[in-house]
């Protein structure tokens, strides 16, 4: 029997079927008596406290292991469990002699039903969150655990109506081979979890799942989005072959991890990693990064109440510099703007923050922000091979102004008797203006790095977040390619390196074009490195 | 009492983690805080009430009453108008 749905997480798997004993929790009692009210109110308070405790612990564990997105889900659940409006609604029901377990399910269902009706897929998915959390509180009140995943003891494919974060979090490592769910979309939690666990998932197969719940075994293809219940021997063999082929493909790419990639005509192409935080450095080296083509520094400034101090920044930059040793690390100075909050910096509301006061524009106007960052980079450069790159440059005047502040910072540090390291300066080519003025910029830069994501957005006048404009969101457009060519030509006249640090750098179909245009460094999300090296070495 | 009108920033509107952060911030103030959208007025400290209330680009008003009303409105306006991406 074939179940067709949405491929939500790539990969294939075949194995025994596991159907968790779930279904909507049923309250043990509907009504209570007048003299039980006070005790039941207390019991309800304790149940909420216990569930909040569990959820917070899960959130903290996920955060500690670097899983921010998943941790956020559980924080949302904590807020739901202790929601003041919900708590008072449940308390009122208890005072009206409804049992607390029935009250919490009924009060939660009012919200769940409301979310489920919304025409927005993402909002509708929040109905599952409410039911999940209310189910946990009611199970706590009735003295039971919330789901049947304790029974999952051998690696299996999990079949379920839907899977809540509290379900997936309860699965022991390695026990889930894949997920098949009746409900869900690519943005459902189950899909996010599957991708983060690295297992295949097919979601949204609909009511056909009911016919498959008795299956002994299941095969699924999370790329093409289908599953087969009780596959015959030929199908099992086929899936085992596909699974082995995928493993082999991954293993084959492993060979390329630590290769120094060159084209067949002998052009050496450096393949580097983009880092969004210092904690990603070791992982990037594992994947075979030959340096860091883009070290974003925004993470240091976000979600806090004050600006990071020079020392704090120095520690972070030093850690990355040390991890990479002689390999170059390009630190991009702060690229924040009106779309992100920045502590201590007055930002007026902007109609078009991507065309607003951001990147180098903000840095030059805000020395109290810019100088500590430059000083920290200069000091950390003692520990490795740091380079500094300025974002959003539109003309050579900005580059000169930024370099002047860098020199000033170096002089000040020297006067203070503080050691500084050599730091080359370069420009991020992401405005069409910078590409057009590349010849002039090249004379005063030690390197260029093309930020294709923004270069595409600005060149094609197409918002990179607008789904309707997908056609205009690729670097593979004659106008963008012409600007890349112009940038590479300007760089080659003075003999400086040109990297690409946008998404295009890791796309197998774009790499040959970029290399052909004269790009000598490709920087990408670390897991793409082995494949990029393979593509380069086959050119 | 303090109040301010603002525009919702996050791409998917108010839901999930941004909603949780908003509620956590609101709870940090002793003032009573509400979000007003059209003719709806909801408790800003209730994640269930604010979830799905507004989408990116919607105009909403944040109103607070109490000792720290000004600070509450200031902090929450900043949070909700910021683009999460």
**Residues A438-483 pLDDT 10s:** 999 999 999 999 999 899 999 999 987 665 787 888 899 999 999 9
Residue B15's pLDDT band, with cuts at 50, 70 and 90, is: confident
Nearest chain B Cα to A78, which residue?
B20
Where in chain A are all domains bearing CATH 1.10.274.10? 23-141
Is the per-residue pLDDT at A538 higher than 80?
yes
Residues of chain B contacting residue A130, judged by C-beta atoms under 8 Å apart? 48
- Is the Cβ pair A73, B17 closer than 8 Å? yes
Task: Give me the residues paired with residue A389 across strands.
Answer: A332, A426
More confident residue, A63 or A370: A370
pLDDT given at position B84: 45
pLDDT given at position A24: 60
CA geometry: angle at B28 spanning B23 and B29, to 5°? Answer: 105
Where in chain A are all domains bearing CATH 3.50.30.10? 148-239
Q: Which two structure tokens, joined as six digits, stand for A371?
A: 């100088």
A444 CB contacts (<8 Å, ≥6 apart)? A396, A399, A400, A403
Is the per-residue pLDDT at A303 higher than 70?
no
Domain A255-537 fold is TIM Barrel (3.20.20)
A353 contacts chain B (CB < 8 A): yes
Which whole number is the average pLDDT over A204-226? 91
pLDDT tens digits along B19-43: 888 899 999 999 999 999 988 899 9
Is the per-residue pLDDT at A145 higher than 60?
no
Residue A189 is a catalytic residue = yes
Of B12, B23, B82, the CB nearest to A340: B82
SS3 A450: strand
Does the pTM of the predicted model rise above 0.95? no
Is the per-residue pLDDT at A52 higher than 80?
yes
Of B20, B51, B82, the CB nearest to A75: B20
Of B13, B46, B82, the CB nearest to A341: B82
At residue B53, what are phi and psi to the nearest 5 degrees? -65, -40
Contact A110, A135 (CB under 8 A): no
Q: How far is Cα A129 from Cα A108, in angstroms, rounded to an integer? A: 10
Q: What is the mean pLDDT of chain B?
A: 87
Is the per-residue pLDDT at A491 higher than 60?
yes
Is the per-residue pLDDT at A4 higher than 90?
yes
Residue A49's pLDDT band, with cuts at 50, 70 and 90, is: very high
Instruction: For residue A303, count CB atoms less than 10 angstroms from its CB and return exposed for 0-12, middle for 13-18, buried for 19 or more.
Output: exposed
Nearest chain B Cα to A108, which residue?
B48
Residues of chain A contacting residue B51, judged by C-beta atoms under 8 Å apart? 111, 115, 123, 126
At residue A12, what are phi and psi to the nearest 5 degrees? -130, 155
Which whole number is the average pLDDT over A270-280? 86
A465 contacts chain B (CB < 8 A): yes
pLDDT given at position B83: 56
pLDDT tens digits along B48-58: 999 888 888 88
Q: How far is Cα A180 from Cα A201, in angstroms, rounded to an integer? A: 6
pLDDT given at position B85: 39
| CATH code of the domain made up of A23-141 | 1.10.274.10
Domains of chain B: 2-81 (3.30.1340.10)
Q: How far is Cα A80 from Cα A129, in angstroms, rounded to an integer? A: 9
Choosing from B15, B21, B37, B49, the catalytic residue is B15
A118 contacts chain B (CB < 8 A): yes
Where in chain A are all domains bearing CATH 3.20.20.60? 255-537
Which whole number is the average pLDDT over A228-248? 91
Q: What does the DSSP 8-state code read for residue A472?
A: G
Is the per-residue pLDDT at A149 higher than 80?
no
**Interface of chain B toward chain A, CB-CB under 8 angstroms:** 9, 11-13, 15-17, 19-21, 23-24, 43, 45-49, 51-52, 55, 78-79, 81-83, 85
Residues of chain A contacting residue B16, judged by C-beta atoms under 8 Å apart? 72-73, 76, 122, 126
SS3 A220: strand
Residues of chain A contacting residue B13, judged by C-beta atoms under 8 Å apart? 120, 123
Which whole number is the average pLDDT over A6-24? 82
Which whole number is the average pLDDT over A99-109? 93
Q: What is the mean pLDDT of chain A?
A: 89
Structurally, at CATH architecture level, domain A148-239 sits in 3-Layer(bba) Sandwich (3.50)
Choosing from A77, A383, A437, A501, the catalytic residue is A501
Residues of chain A contacting residue B46, judged by C-beta atoms under 8 Å apart? 83-86
């Amino acid at each position: 029997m074939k179940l067709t749905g949405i491929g939500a997480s790539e990969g294939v798997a075949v194995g025994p079927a596991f159907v968790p004993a779930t279904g909507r929790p049923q309250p043990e009692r509907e009504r209570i008596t007048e003299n039980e009210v006070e005790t039941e109110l207390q019991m309800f308070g304790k149940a909420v406290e216990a569930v909040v405790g569990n959820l917070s612990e899960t959130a903290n564990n996920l955060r500690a292991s670097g899983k921010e997105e998943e941790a956020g889900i559980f924080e949302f659940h904590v807020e739901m469990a202790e929601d003041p409006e919900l708590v008072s609604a449940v308390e009122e029901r208890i005072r009206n002699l409804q049992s607390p377990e029935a009250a919490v399910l009924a009060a939660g269902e009012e919200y769940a039903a409301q979310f489920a009706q919304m025409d927005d897929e993402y909002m509708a998915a929040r109905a599952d969150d409410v039911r999940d959390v209310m189910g946990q509180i009611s199970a706590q009140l009735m003295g039971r655990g919330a789901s049947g995943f304790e029974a999952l003891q051998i690696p299996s494919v999990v079949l379920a109506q839907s899977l809540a974060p509290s379900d997936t979090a309860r699965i022991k490592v390695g026990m889930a081979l894949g997920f098949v769910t009746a409900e869900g979309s690519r943005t459902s939690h189950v899909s996010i979890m599957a991708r983060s666990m690295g297992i295949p998932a097919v979601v949204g197969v609909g009511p056909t799942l009911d016919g498959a719940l008795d299956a002994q075994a299941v095969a699924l293809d999370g790329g093409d989005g289908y599953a087969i219940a009780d596959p015959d021997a030929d199908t099992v063999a086929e899936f085992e072959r596909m699974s082995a082929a995928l493993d082999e493909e991954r293993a084959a790419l492993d060979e390329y991890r630590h290769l120094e990639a060159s084209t067949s005509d002998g052009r050496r192409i450096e393949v580097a990693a983009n880092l969004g935080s210092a904690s990603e450095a070791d992982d990037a080296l594992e994947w075979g990064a030959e340096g860091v083509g883009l070290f974003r520094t925004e993470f240091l400034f976000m979600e806090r109440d004050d600006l990071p101090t020079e020392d704090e920044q120095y520690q972070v930059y030093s850690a990355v510099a040390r991890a990479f040793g002689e390999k170059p690390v390009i630190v991009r100075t702060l690229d924040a703007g009106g779309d992100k909050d920045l502590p201590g910096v007055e930002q007026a509301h902007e109609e078009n923050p991507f065309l607003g006061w951001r990147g180098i524009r903000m840095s030059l106007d805000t020395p109290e922000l810019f100088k500590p960052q430059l000083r920290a980079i200069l000091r950390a450069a003692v520990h490795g091979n740091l380079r500094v790159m300025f974002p959003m440059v539109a003309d050579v005047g900005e580059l000169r102004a930024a370099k002047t502040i860098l020199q000033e910072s170096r002089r000040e540090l020297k006067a203070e008797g503080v050691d500084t390291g050599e730091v080359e300066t370069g420009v991020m080519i992401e405005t069409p203006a910078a590409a057009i003025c590349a010849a002039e910029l090249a004379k005063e830069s030690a390197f260029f790095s093309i930020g294709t994501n923004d270069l595409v957005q600005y060149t094609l006048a197409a918002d990179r977040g607008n789904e309707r404009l997908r056609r205009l969101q690729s670097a593979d457009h004659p106008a963008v390619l012409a600007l890349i060519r112009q940038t590479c030509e300007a760089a080659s006249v003075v003999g400086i390196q040109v990297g690409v640090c946008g998404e295009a750098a890791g796309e197998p179909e774009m790499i040959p074009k970029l290399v052909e245009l004269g790009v000598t460094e490709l920087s990408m999300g670390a897991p793409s490195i082995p494949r990029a090296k393979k593509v380069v070495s086959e050119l | 009492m303090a109040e301010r009108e603002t525009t919702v920033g996050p791409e998917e509107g108010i839901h999930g983690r941004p909603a949780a952060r908003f509620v956590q911030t609101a709870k940090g103030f002793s003032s009573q805080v509400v979000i007003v959208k059209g003719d709806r007025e909801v408790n800003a400290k209730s994640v269930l009430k604010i979830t799905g209330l507004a989408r990116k680009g919607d105009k909403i008003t944040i109103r607070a009453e109490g000792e720290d009303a000004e600070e509450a409105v200031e902090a929450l306006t900043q949070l909700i108008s910021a683009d999460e991406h």
